[in-house]
Structure 1
Amino acid sequence: MDFRRLTYFVAVAEELHFGRAANRLGIAQPPLSRQIAQLESDLGVQLFDRSRSQVRLTQAGETLLLRGGDILAQVERAEREVRCIGEGAAGRLRIAFVGTASYGVLPELIREFRGRYPDVELALSAMNNAELKTALIARHIDVAFARPAIFDDEIRVFPFHEEPLTLAVPENSELAAQDRLPLAELKRETFVLYPRRPRPSFADHILEICKKEGFIPAKEVLAQDFQTAISLVSVGVGISLVPRSVSLSPRHGVVYRAYEGYNPGTTVSLALRQDNQGVHTQNFVTVAKSFARKIQKEGR
């Protein structure tokens, strides 16, 4: 069925007057009458009872008005939805991140993006760096927040947020009571590092910091993720170097202390595929870059 003829039919059926329907459609009456006649011929039914004084719908016409109105409304809704998705105002964006990123400014960025694009569905998931890289390349996610940065010829990377490192120590340890904690003097402590795999990883970043301070930890305990690492610290297994943002969420059995010594900090990076030109992804990157400049200006 021709959608244009269906539109013409609905107009006549609602007006029950060819002249008014023609004015409503912005066309002349004779072409409208020919289109309705052609529609009746195509369907093999009479849609209108016509007289000099009145136009009425037949039973077939009443059924077509009911169904045809629904069809046109669905087409209009589909056009609106497709247009909104094409403009980035609706649709779906898949965001993945390393666990520690959820303790920093990332939640604020997510809220800001939601405020600007409330009808865009956000699919959020936590992954380690290796999973992030694999998911990006396989197009299973749209953007990733990694720590440290992930590199590949297929991936673009933007620094998002840099922050210093801080020490996580058991609450009941002697270290928790000390005001001054030179990192070089902690060489006999057990360092809880994460992730266990894959390597190189954030664990290797911490080991490089220790080397800069002139030592290798006397003992290392490897955890698969930072939540496990903090849990091990809370039960007295050892100490851990973590992003400062982790300290913003108190954990029973753990206290956080600044330390003296080499502190290059750690950066959360925003990563996406080189060929990802999707409007949702580009809108998100624009908001993320603006947000990153704002928090940098605020000194966070």
Structure 2
Amino acid sequence: METRELGYFLAVARELHFGRAAESLGIAQPPLSRAISRLERRLGVTLLERTSRRVTLTPAGETLLAEGGAALEAVAAAVRRTRRAGDAGPRLVLAMKPGGDGGGLLPAMLAAYEREPGALPVEMLLGYGADRALREGRADAALLYTPRQDVTGLATEELLREPQVAVLPRGHRLAGRAEVSMADLDGEALPRAPYGRAGPDGLQISDGGQLMQLIALGRAVAILPASMRGLLREDLTAVPVRDADPTTLVLAWPETSRSRALAAFVRSTTTVAADFTASHLR
């Protein structure tokens, strides 16, 4: 199967319309139709049922739609990682959201890694799509919080477990409490979905700054790892949520990686995290 043909099929499968798919791909409709027919002959199955009025997916087409997108993303990620590995100045790219290092692990992590033989320069990729950057091949490793972020298909090492807090405006009815329960937050706008998806009132939450602004305006409440308290604006406060499941900070990387530099980074990072946890338990 050629990746180009797979991309053509995915465009049609998502649009269920050859004309719109051709337009989105920037090609004419007849070559697109021929490419889909070649793909069906190669696979020996019918992917699309076509009539003069509609296009529908067959069971085989639904399967390829579900799995083909991940396959194309994996190929694209492999290309990016290969190109970066061949750069004249190799480096290790670590993705994380701002403040997403468990309350200060990062300096010790970087210092420990620098002492490893053959350590590469570490480039930071900061943003609220660290898991996506890792899957797309733009990063070699990422600091992620589970279960909030999906680590399916990634290798992971647990670093820290943290309680969670409710981030509230200072004038909120619960702001003075020593702790709250999830039941206390019933009726509040809790944007639990990953950033970028619909938030309260249908708003698109694109980054943490926007989320904090919504909280300050009284339009949202967020449940976040306790270590985020040190990054809050002065008009916000954090109250422990006694019955919220703890969140876990993990170091994640591609399961298929064979990088010695990355292996050294994982090793040094887990040692730092273990020492950090032990010191806070004394």
Normalised to the residue count of structure 1, the TM-score between the two structures is: 0.54
Q: CA 1:108–1:195 in structure 2 vs 1: closer, same or farther (change >3 Å)?
A: same
Could you say what secondary structure the match of 2:180 adopts?
A: coil
User: Partner amino acid for 1:121?
Assistant: P
Q: How far did 1:109 drift? A: 3.6
Matched positions, count: 189
Could you say what secondary structure the match of 1:247 adopts?
A: helix
CA contact (8 A) 1:98 1:147 kept: no
Residue matched to 1:271: 252
**Backbone CA RMSD of aligned residues:** 3.1
Q: CA 1:232–1:102 in structure 2 vs 1: closer, same or farther (change >3 Å)?
A: farther
What is the CA deviation profile of residues 256-298 of structure 1, one whole-angstrom value per residue up to 9, with x for unaligned ones? Answer: 11133x2221112111122322221111111011112112212
CA contact (8 A) 1:150 1:271 kept: no
Q: How far did 1:182 drift? A: 2.9
Residue matched to 2:211: 229
CA contact (8 A) 1:195 1:226 kept: no
Distance in 2, matches of 1:279 and 1:164, equals 33
CA contact (8 A) 2:168 2:237 kept: yes
Could you say what secondary structure the match of 1:147 adopts?
A: strand
Identity of aligned residues (%): 16
Work out which of the residue numbers 247, 251, 264 in structure 2 matches 1:283: 264
CA contact (8 A) 1:170 1:238 kept: no
Q: How far did 1:184 drift? A: 0.7
Give the unaligned 5+ runs of structure 2: 1-88
Q: How far did 1:255 drift? A: 0.7
Q: How does 1:1-300 map to 2 (within 5 A)?
A: 91-102=90-101, 104-113=103-112, 115-116=114-115, 120-127=120-127, 128-135=129-136, 138=137, 140-148=138-146, 150-153=150-153, 155-197=154-196, 223-260=205-242, 262-299=243-280
User: Partner amino acid for 2:120?
Assistant: V
Larger Rg: 1
Q: CA 1:110–1:276 in structure 2 vs 1: closer, same or farther (change >3 Å)?
A: same
User: Partner amino acid for 1:98?
Assistant: K
Q: How far did 1:228 drift? A: 2.0
Distance in 1, matches of 2:265 and 2:171, equals 43
CA contact (8 A) 1:235 1:253 kept: no
Q: How far did 1:117 drift? A: 5.2
User: Partner amino acid for 1:126?
Assistant: L
Q: How far did 1:241 drift? A: 0.7
User: Partner amino acid for 1:132?
Assistant: A
Q: Which moved more, 1:170-179 or 1:158-167?
A: 170-179
User: Partner amino acid for 1:131?
Assistant: R
Distance in 2, matches of 1:95 and 1:282, equals 13
User: Partner amino acid for 2:214?
Assistant: L
Q: How far did 1:114 drift? A: 5.5
Could you say what secondary structure the match of 1:191 adopts?
A: coil
Could you say what secondary structure the match of 2:257 adopts?
A: coil
Normalised to the residue count of structure 2, the TM-score between the two structures is: 0.57
Could you say what secondary structure the match of 1:120 adopts?
A: coil
CA contact (8 A) 2:95 2:130 kept: no
User: Partner amino acid for 2:160?
Assistant: H
What is the CA deviation profile of residues 191-234 of structure 1, one whole-angstrom value per residue up to 9, with x for unaligned ones? Answer: 244524469xxx9xxxxxxxxxxxxxx98866233332122112
